[in-house]
Chains A and B, each alone.
Chain A
Amino acid sequence: MTYNELIDRMSEELGLSKAETRRLMKDVVGEFTDQLGEGTGFSIPDLGTFKTRIKEVQKIYNPHHKKYMMVPPKQIVEYSPAKNMKEKLKYIATGDE
């Protein structure tokens, strides 16, 4: 489902205009992003938990350039799906099955 489809259906369900839905969605995503940017995690019922984790400095070997490199630390967004949703989607058929 593309973002446009999501907005379409969202506005239908909520009885709002698409523009309004889009604006709200932007704010919601903005808040999510800000929270994660502060290193704060959050959970949304039935959807799952979002949080960040630091990936430490790591030494890697680049086989193409034959060089060892030091990769700086970085923040990784982690998501773990809510149990409820996980169970519901576990055995449905998908394209890549």
Chain B
Amino acid sequence: MSDKITFKNLVERISDRTEKDRPFTDQFLRELTQLVESGLKEDGSVSISGFGKFELRWMKERNGVNPRTGEPITIPGQNKVVFKPYKPLRKHVNRTYARMEPEVLDEGPKADESDTQTGEQEPVLQTHETDPFGIPLQSEKQSDEDLGNLLIERESPISEEADSDETGKPLKAVTDKRLVDEVQKNGSFNWSYLAASLLVLLMIVALFYYVNRDEPSDLLTGNNATEAVPAPPVIEQNDLPAVDSEPTTTAETDELAADPEDAVADTDELVREVDIPTVDDNAEHIGSPGAADSPDVEMTEQQVDPGATLWSIADQALGDPLMWPWIYHLNIDRIDNPNMIQAGADLTVPVIDEDSLGDEEMRQVAYGYVDLYHWYRDRGDEEARYFLWAAGSFYPDLLHELDDQAASADLQFARSR
């Protein structure tokens, strides 16, 4: 594999192929070299069809150490010549591997299973464990099961019977067996397993506690408590004055705001405020008139850093990554795919006070989720309805305004949550 042919040999082979004499081929290659060099000098890149592209890449000045003396030195900025092989070449050298595809491994993290349940395109609804809306029904049920598995799996080194207790879960059985084997081989029980399982148990208990603490509203809203659904903690405040839900001067023309149903929201005496995960004290902030009275949301233009996602931008700018659809909503004309934004692009990002989020902010986020719903539904994604549900959890009234814009089955789904 690592053998090499000489230039002379190469020239011979090419000459055979082109039926030219060797001096000519030699000259041809020299000429090619010359032109690659001058091409790089002139425009920094030279493309050779079917082969690849030579490019000059500027390497910034960086710090290094002299390997011999260990003394720090500054490596000055300089150009590097790189070669990017084109597809025909890549394909040809890889032809023996052509049929090999990347394989998904079973031993993924726990999030795996809940992911496939609720749609893989939907980071919003699973990752934020502290968020009450972030865990939809199915993933919660699923994770209950997971927890069960996890517990059994962790306990197995203690009691070897666990193996026979749980049948029909091949993957787990393998793990158990391995653990059991190890215990047998070592002759003694490895205490670090116990420590690890205790730690995991502790974390699970803490997680449950957290989820349950955010859940008391279940009782309020009459949800079936046995479902263990972390329903959005909607708190109804009947006696508050109706909060202005007119769209603000968000520099954004949204077709939703123009809906006649707006009036419905306005006259609706029942003001619903949704708790935000970042807000610790519900009672203080919810429906705080200050936020609702100043619905004007300030906007700023921000450039997308390499590696940034809408999620990460929302986390930084809004204090809560779950609010990322708002940014999508504001920039819907500029973002083709909400899962992929271009580094260097400009985005309009709202400037908000994280501690006093009002109705209007919630509404904007909900619009974002509705936009996402449309985006996913246009692509025939079944999971689109989860976005509608998320919109409802941020701003329940919105679901009643969407009658003609969403599939009734999806609306039904979102409302029934």
Contact = CB atoms under 8 A, between A and B. Distances in A.
Nearest to A77: B85
A31 to B, nearest CB: 5
Interface string B89-116: 1101111010011111101110110010
B416 interface: no
B83 A29 contact: no
A37 B95 contact: yes
| Interface residue range, chain A | 35 or more
Given A1-B39, A28-B28, A67 B104 contact: yes
Nearest to A24: B18
Contact of A89 (B4, B41, B108): B41
Contact of A90 (B13, B29, B79): B79
Nearest to B42: A1
Nearest to A69: B102
B32 A28 contact: yes
B181 interface: no
A14 B78 CA distance: 33
B177 interface: no
Secondary structure type dominating chain B contacts: mixed
Given A25-B48, A33-B51, A89 B115 contact: no
B33 A90 contact: no
A4 B92 CA distance: 23
Contact of A3 (B33, B48, B92): B48
B45 to A, nearest CB: 7
B277 interface: no
Given A40-B5, A70-B102, A24 B20 contact: yes
Contacts of A97: 58, 77
Contact of A94 (B4, B56, B83): B56
Contact of A85 (B31, B37, B94, B109): B37
Nearest to B83: A79
B105 A51 contact: no
B88 interface: yes
Contacts of A59: 105
Interface of B: 1-7, 10, 13-14, 17-18, 20, 25, 27-37, 39-52, 56-58, 77-83, 85, 88-90, 92-95, 97, 100-105, 107-109, 111-112, 115, 120, 123, 339
26 contacts: A1-B47, A6-B35, A6-B46, A14-B27, A25-B48, A27-B17, A29-B51, A31-B10, A36-B92, A36-B93, A37-B93, A39-B1, A40-B3, A47-B33, A50-B83, A52-B1, A64-B123, A64-B339, A67-B105, A69-B102, A69-B103, A72-B103, A77-B89, A85-B81, A90-B79, A92-B56
